[in-house]
Amino acid sequence: MRTTLLFLCTLAVTGCVRHLGAPEGEPPALPDFDVTMIEDRVYTPDDWPQALHADIYRPEPPGRYPTVLMVHGGGWERRSPEDTAGLARQLAEQGFVVVNIEYRFAPEYTFPAQLHDLQMAMRWLHVHADDYGIDRSRVGAWGYSSGAHLVTLLATVAADTDSPLNEPYGGPVTRPRAVVAGGTPTDLRKFEGGTLVPQFLGGPQESNAAIYAAASPVTHVGADTPPHLLYHGTLDSVVPVDHAEDYRTALNANGVDNELLLLRGKGHVAAFLFGGAAEDAGAAFLARTLTPAH
């Protein structure tokens, strides 16, 4: 009876995931490592408006490993790296160094403060690569919800050399080589009403149209945008699934390698809490895209 139930559950979960752009064949099995966690490392300079911390999850034995900048969600106003601690440890067990970070919150700090935090985190992990076994040529990023918005914006802005958002902390060193993003608000111009986006961007769209466009990752997509794996619940009423679909259209139009997992029957929270298929696909995607540079 138990075997039958497990089979039916597996069949149901498989049928609830549609994977667009997936490579053919089974993904290779990932390794299994012991993990060391280093807590509460300050990654911001002494003169930063707020001291921000990172937890580092490092595979053992010591060596050089591909690395993931991990960014939690929470509407740009709350939550903490604790939300992504389980995923961070899982990725470290599979052979990635994970740098799981805090960032500043709205409404006290408005855009682009949060982007500056991520840009500084990327600079910090490159500077401290020797301390934590980071392979500087293989750094990716992963986020969910507002964290996904920030990692996609980080990636697209760094690849858009003409963007003023590269000043003063961005530039090529802040460009991840690959991005995994779930429940991603890719076009903030689509949100009408509510409080989260206006307090993040410093006011309503009617009086801040240029800021809404600049803060939308879809407006920065270009030929140098790094590969993306997107995952999104089809019943997401917080960030509708057309954010992922439109973003993928922009990636395709610019020839950017990408995948999209549509999680059938899942809303915004459920896609995060029960996104095991997406997490497995994301790990496989990073293993493929963060290959050693030659």
In a domain, 145, yes or no: yes
Q: How many CA atoms lie within 13 A of 44 on its CB side?
A: 18
Distance CA 293, CA 291 (A): 6
Q: Domain residues for 205?
A: 2-289
Go through the chain and tell me how many residues it has. 294
DSSP string, 115-166: HHHHHHHHHHHHHTHHHHTEEEEEEEEEEETHHHHHHHHHHHHHH-TT-GGG
Beta bridge partners of 108: none
pTM: 0.93
pLDDT in tens, the chain (294 residues): 333 333 333 334 444 888 887 787 777 778 899 999 999 999 999 999 999 999 999 999 999 999 999 999 999 999 999 999 999 999 999 999 999 999 999 999 999 999 999 999 999 999 999 999 999 999 999 999 999 999 999 999 999 999 999 999 999 999 999 999 999 999 999 998 899 999 999 999 999 999 999 999 999 999 999 999 999 999 999 999 999 999 999 999 999 999 999 999 999 999 999 989 999 999 999 999 998 765
Sheet holding 34-42, edge to edge: 17-20, 258-263, 228-233, 179-182, 134-144, 65-71, 97-101, 53-60, 34-42
Give the residue carrying structure tokens 């300050």: 42
Return the exposure string of 115-151: e unless at least 16 CB atoms fall within 10 Å of the residue's CB, then b.
Answer: bbbbbbbbbbbeeebeebbbbeebbbbbbbbbbbbbb
In a domain, 182, yes or no: yes
CATH number at residue 237: 3.40.50.1820
Overall number of domains in the chain = 1
Give the per-residue pLDDT at 170.
98
